[in-house]
Structure 1
Amino acid sequence: MLTQVQKIFLLSSVLSLGFVLIILSSALYHNWLPLTVVLMFLLAPIPNSLCGNTQSEDFMSEAPDLLADFGRFLTSFLLTSGVALPVTFAHNGLIKIPAMIMSLAGGAIVYGSIVTFGAIFYEPEGY
């Protein structure tokens, strides 16, 4: 098993790999539009983490949790936008196809490492 420090080191290394891919997709092809992916994938986990902790006290209640659903909607909107922007830029000729692929791979690594960090260090409240 990995210690907490080793987990943080591993996740930060993977996160930096994602950022390097995104920055290289911009720098190698002299076009800085793929950097918009960074903003989308960094903002994507925020609505889910803010709105996901609104669980009802009554576990027998079947009322829908509208705030949690809204957080999931915003997260999926930002993830879809993070994928669609480079594809749209490449389709319109604003960036090249290899830059799109590197940007998408880097964005997936960034988002995956952020979600993994949240999953590893999440401690549910005990009763």
Structure 2
Amino acid sequence: MQFKVSPLTKIISLSVFLALGFLLVILSCALFHNYYPLFDILVFILAPIPNSIFGSRSYASSDFMSPSSNNGKDLGHFLTGMFVASGIALPLVFYHCQLIGSVSCAMSMIGGLIIYSSIVIFSWFFHSSWENDEDNLFG
């Protein structure tokens, strides 16, 4: 038996998950009267963009990004990994420089990872459901 979840349920659950991540990062700023962890939100929001840009095959106009090579996709993975590593390391650097406390550092890292994972899960859920809808329409 296959259990099918409606898209509205997916959107609501992922928005609650995303709101939890934003709540953790904003509380890490507001509770300790220090707003440096807000930079972490920016880094984690920018993280999935290289994969979405270089993941499609519509950019294959040059030899560097030809469909037979994975150079563009590898570059997207590298840049995404760099953003995620920077998002994890940024609160640690702020903590090391004594700009934020340890609790604020932990809340900011956990909240940022929740934000990034909810964006990735959202794109994964709806990319796979769009592919399945196209298969059902034409197959």
Same-fold call, TM cutoff 0.5: yes
CA shift for structure 1 position 63: 4.5
Distance in 1, matches of 2:95 and 2:47, equals 22
What is the aligned-residue RMSD (CA, Å)?
Answer: 2.0
Which TM-score applies when normalising by structure 2?
0.82
Q: Deviations over 1:6-58 (max 9, x none)?
A: 110000011001000000000001100000110010010010011011288xx
Q: Which runs of 4+ in 1 moved over 6 A?
A: none
- The answer to whether structure 1 residue 87 and structure 2 residue 92 are counterparts is yes
Distance in 1, matches of 2:21 and 2:40, equals 11
Distance in 2, matches of 1:63 and 1:2, equals 36
| Corresponding residue for residue 6 of structure 1 | 9
Q: Name stretches of at least 5 consecutive residues in structure 2 with no aligned partner.
A: 61-66
| Corresponding residue for residue 22 of structure 2 | 19
| Corresponding residue for residue 120 of structure 2 | 115
Identical-residue share of aligned pairs (%)? 44
Aligned 1:1-127 pairs, distance under 5 A: 1-54=4-57, 63-122=68-127, 123-124=130-131, 126=135
Q: Name stretches of at least 5 consecutive residues in structure 1 with no aligned partner.
A: 57-61
The structure that has the greater radius of gyration is 2
Which TM-score applies when normalising by structure 1?
0.89
Distance in 2, matches of 1:91 and 1:54, equals 42
- Pairs aligned (count): 123
CA contact (8 A) 1:47 1:71 kept: yes
SS state at 1:109 partner: helix
